[in-house]
């Protein structure tokens, strides 16, 4: 058993998948050999894992934002430019994701299992559209705890995190100027709490292979292999969208930086490979920073802005994935989200990606908040556990490529000189 636990997570998930196929076939492969109600119990680990992820989502997002704002080295005047680059790149990512999801319609290739008409009507009633007044109304919560308790208010949560982070940062700068150190304990508490939540998240992630086993075995036993067709189309669609986002980065670099796309791809491949293999943009951060300075040849200040500061807020691959997942599940449930509902998906995905930490599966955690915000049922995210381990690697590579792009754009159209 301990040998099994030492295997990399993706190997454990693949083993879980293979066992699930065997068990699913033995249990009927679409013609269940026992009452469906009994087979439904196989989904319990996935339900619990999702509930744990969604429980950890709020502290993770909040602490990740406050921690970055409090500890990052952000030179004066850079915040605006960085803010603009990050927002525009994320917007493009989500638009690409929604475009591909609407064109390929991965969820319409097959049903994930039809919920009853009553259930569909109930979900449809909850799937909110974009209402600017209601949105504004919910931005300022009635109490400071509400965004932590109410899972539908991801925007309020992110704004609260930003406000607290900026306030603490200003206080810290003021105290440093006055040679005071009162801010230090709170900075340490925030960092320790953030690390603790990440540790708890690791424990939940250990259970993912069991969850995948249960949900896949149940699905195959009850519905056979049909539902997986659409999942395959979804994987292809997400990869296609992520590749398009990569092309967009190269185009921006071509027109906005002295670095050429070829130069970036040949000299800057290390962090992309590291991101794919670790599925963590934070773990890749030192490699990204080093590569940008040593191999690509950027100024230290630009490298640190994109790779160190940007990487905490800049998760375009994650934003794109969350928006596509919401559309995929909605399509699979035959709920075609209209334009205003998709706009709300876009908005919440932007905020959720800002708060997604650069660690494996963070996108899955924040996705629960996107689903809750637009009224989609989170239990269907369980089926995505099957493919998330792989898509996580691809989207992490795009997250890192986004950070590198921001650094190249900040570095401008002239390469550094000997005086720089
Ligand atoms: N693993 C991703 C990253 O580290 C975050 C995510 O799960 O989307 O950037």
Cα–Cα distance between 401 and 179 in angstroms, integer? 39
27 and 219 Cβ atoms separated by less than 8 Å: no
Binding site membership of 392 for ligand 1 (Cβ less than 6 Å): yes
Q: Atom of ligand 1 at shortest distance to CA of 357? A: 5
d(CA 318, CA 393): 11
d(Cα 68, Cα 175) in Å, to the nearest integer? 18
- Dist. CA 153–CA 140, nearest whole Å: 10
Question: Which residue, judged by its Cα, is nearest atom 6 of ligand 1?
Answer: 363
Gap between the Cα atoms of 213 and 385, Å rounded: 10
227-237 b/e (C-beta count within 10 Å ≥ 16 → b) = bbebbebbbeb
Provide CB contacts within 8 A for 411, sequence distance 6+: 257, 258, 259, 298, 299, 302
pLDDT value, residue 110: 65
Q: How far is the CA of 311 from the centre of ligand 1 (A)?
A: 10
Q: Report the pLDDT value the prediction gives residue 400, as an integer from 0 to 100.
A: 95
* Domain chopping of the chain, boundaries: 2-411
Using a 10 angstrom Cβ sphere, with 0-12 exposed, 13-18 middle and 19 or more buried, the burial of residue 262 is: exposed
Distance between Cα 35 and ligand 1 center (Å): 39
CB of 355 sitting under 6 A from ligand 1: no
User: Ligand 1 within 6 A of 395 CB?
Assistant: yes
Ligand 1 within 6 A of 280 CB?
Answer: yes
401 lines ligand 1 (CB under 6 A): no
Cβ of 316 below 6 Å from ligand 1:
no
Q: Cβ(330) to ligand 1 under 6 A?
A: no
Q: Assess whether the C-beta atom of 363 lies below 6 angstroms from ligand 1.
A: yes
Contact assessment for residue 89 and residue 96, using Cβ atoms and an 8 Å cutoff = no
Give the model confidence (pLDDT) of 181-238 as tens digits: 888 999 999 999 988 988 888 888 888 889 889 988 888 888 888 777 788 899 999 9
Please name the CATH architecture into which domain 2-411 falls.
Orthogonal Bundle (1.10)
CB of residue 356 inside a 6 A radius of ligand 1: yes
Distance, in Å, from the CA atom of 66 to the CA atom of 148, rounded to the nearest integer, reads 14
Measured from the Cα of 399, ligand 1's closest atom is: 9
CA distance linking residue 343 with residue 131, whole number of Å: 10
Question: How remote is the CA of residue 150 from the centroid of ligand 1, in Å?
Answer: 24
For residue 358, which atom of ligand 1 is closest to its CA? 4
Write phi, then psi, for 140 (nearest 5 degrees).
Answer: -105, 105
pLDDT confidence of residue 286: 83
Q: What is the 3-state secondary structure of 249-308?
A: HHHHHHHHCCCCHHHHHHHCHHHHHHHHHHCCHHHHHHHHHHHHHHHHCCCHHHHHHHHH
- Count other C-beta atoms under 10 Å from residue 205's C-beta: 20
Determine the distance separating the centroid of ligand 1 and the alpha carbon of 361, expressed in angstroms: 6
- Per residue, what are the HEC states of 51-79? HHHHHHHHHHHHHHHHHHHHHCCCCCCHH
pLDDT in tens, the chain (420 residues): 677 777 877 788 888 889 988 998 898 887 877 887 888 888 889 888 888 887 888 888 888 888 888 887 766 667 778 888 888 999 999 999 999 999 988 888 766 556 666 766 766 666 666 566 766 777 788 888 888 887 767 788 888 888 999 899 999 989 999 888 888 999 999 999 988 988 888 888 888 889 889 988 888 888 888 777 788 899 999 999 999 999 999 999 999 999 999 999 999 899 999 899 888 898 888 889 889 998 999 988 888 888 877 777 789 999 999 999 999 998 888 887 888 888 888 888 888 888 787 888 888 888 888 888 888 888 888 888 888 888 999 999 999 999 999 999 988 888 777 666
How many whole angstroms separate alpha carbon 245 and alpha carbon 144? Answer: 37
**Mapped to the 3 state alphabet, what secondary structure does the chain carry?**
CHHHHHCCHHHHHHHHHHHHHHHHHHCCCCCCCCCHHHHHHHHHHHHHHHHHHHHHHHHHHHHHHHHHHHHCCCCCCHHHHHHHHHHHHHHHHHHHHHHHHHHHCHHHCCCCCCCCHHHHHHHHHHCCCCCHHHHHHHHCCCCCCHHHHCCCCHHHHHHHHHHHHHHHHHHHHHHHHCCCCCHHHHHHHHHHHHHHHHHHHHHHHHCHHHHHHHHHHHHHHHHCCHHHHHHHHHHHHHHHHHHHHHHHHHHHHHHHCCCCHHHHHHHCHHHHHHHHHHCCHHHHHHHHHHHHHHHHCCCHHHHHHHHHHHHHHCCHHHHHHHHHHHHHHHHHCCCCCCHHHHHHHHHHHHHHHHHCCCCCCHHHHHHHHHHHHHCCCHHHHHHHHHHHHHHHHHHHHHHHHHHHHHHHHHHCCCCCCCCC
pLDDT (tens digit, 9 = 90+) per residue, 6-53? 787 778 888 888 998 899 889 888 787 788 788 888 888 988 888 888
Q: Which atom of ligand 1 is nearest to the CA of 365?
A: 7
274 lines ligand 1 (CB under 6 A): no
- Give pLDDT, residue 171: 92
Q: Per the structure block, which two tokens stand in for 315? A: 């998760």
């Amino acid at each position: 058993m301990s040998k099994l636990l030492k295997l990399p997570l993706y190997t454990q998930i693949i083993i879980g998948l293979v066992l699930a196929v065997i068990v699913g076939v033995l249990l009927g492969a679409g013609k269940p050999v026992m009452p469906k109600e009994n087979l439904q119990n196989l989904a319990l680990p996935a339900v619990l894992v999702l509930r744990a992820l969604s429980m950890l989502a709020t502290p993770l997002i909040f602490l990740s934002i406050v921690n970055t704002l409090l500890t990052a080295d952000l030179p004066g005047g850079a915040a605006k430019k960085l803010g603009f680059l990050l927002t525009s790149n994320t917007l493009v990512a989500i638009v690409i994701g929604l475009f591909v999801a609407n064109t390929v319609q991965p969820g319409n290739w097959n049903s994930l299992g039809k919920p009853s008409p009553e259930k569909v009507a109930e979900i449809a009633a909850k799937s909110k559209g974009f209402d600017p007044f209601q949105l504004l109304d919910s931005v300022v919560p009635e109490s400071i705890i509400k965004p932590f308790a109410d899972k539908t208010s991801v925007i309020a949560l992110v704004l609260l995190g930003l406000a607290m982070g900026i306030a603490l940062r200003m206080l810290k700068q003021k105290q440093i100027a006055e040679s005071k150190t009162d801010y230090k304990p709170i900075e340490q508490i925030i960092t320790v709490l953030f690390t603790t939540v990440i540790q708890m998240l690791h424990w939940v992630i250990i259970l993912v292979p069991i969850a995948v086993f249960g949900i896949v075995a149940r699905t195959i036993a009850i519905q056979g292999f049909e539902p997986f067709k659409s999942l395959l189309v979804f994987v292809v669609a997400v990869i296609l969208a992520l590749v398009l986002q990569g092309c967009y980065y190269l185009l921006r670099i071509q027109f906005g930086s002295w670095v050429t796309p070829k130069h970036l791809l040949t000299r800057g491949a290390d962090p992309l490979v590291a991101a794919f293999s670790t599925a963590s943009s934070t773990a890749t951060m030192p490699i990204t920073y080093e590569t940008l300075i040593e191999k690509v040849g950027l100024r230290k200040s630009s490298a640190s802005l994109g790779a160190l500061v940007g990487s905490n807020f800049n998760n375009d691959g994650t934003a794109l994935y969350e928006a596509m997942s919401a559309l995929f599940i909605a399509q699979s449930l035959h709920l075609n989200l209209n334009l205003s509902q998709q706009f709300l998906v876009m908005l919440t995905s932007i905020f959720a990606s800002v708060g997604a930490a650069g660690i494996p599966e963070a996108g899955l955690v924040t996705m629960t908040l996107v689903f809750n915000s637009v009224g989609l049922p989170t239990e269907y995210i369980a089926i995505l556990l099957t493919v998330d381990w792989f898509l996580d690697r691809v989207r992490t590579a795009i997250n890192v490529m986004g950070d590198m792009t921001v650094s190249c754009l900040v570095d401008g159209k002239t390469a550094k000189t000997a005086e720089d």
